[in-house]
Structure 1
């Protein structure tokens, strides 16, 4: 077995579930998350210089993020060209019995792709702002703005009562 095949096997067996969770937080759909991880693995491990990869998990995470952003951009182009052929990205669920995980998923889907990517990279992957900026190819100020907007939008969508309590105490 070649060295890269062993790295691929170890990565999928030990970190495959974490990679899928990461992709799920970005796209919000289980089957799309599986597709993202699969496409990223194919993209990373079919390259000529696959033996030179220092940190394969980080490399695959970056590929998942890039594939996700490419799909979002492509979807945006199709929305302008064929708006009648697409279904909405998100369907509001007014059910009061939904648990917190479903509420969070719906709230994440309501964010813009850039806000969602920043929130997931900051809170789920625990990346510092400069690394998020490097991965997204933008400035640290832009990442901070997306985090700020994303947090406020999430607070509004998740009905964060603690903020109202803080205002009443002051």
Structure 2
């Protein structure tokens, strides 16, 4: 950074998911001029993150983190952390009808009966989206063959003409 002595051993680091949104003046030589692209996790990396985020959670024995890591292509670390939290919240929501909210503590028997299942993860997967794929989402227009035909495409009224 400008104005610092070259031997002052100061390192300034920043992180962003949108490097092109940063003012170009900050990305010039002598400022934030080094960039390290960390990229998206692969299946092994996602599995490692899932293991870290679930290590203090009570999981049913048959919870298959390997399968979950395969189903989470495009998920970044924050997405996986959210996925684990959502799965735990689904587990808690199942027990809300037997938890007395007036008590300051939850009965030990209820706590011992709580365990996160594959179904909790499936439900959480259904409500979450991979951040790394947000920019690649394709919007499909609501167009039928009849609309195309009515716009002067009479010769192509059958799908077979496109094959």
**TM-score, normalised relative to structure 1:** 0.29
Larger Rg: 2
**TM-score, normalised relative to structure 2:** 0.30
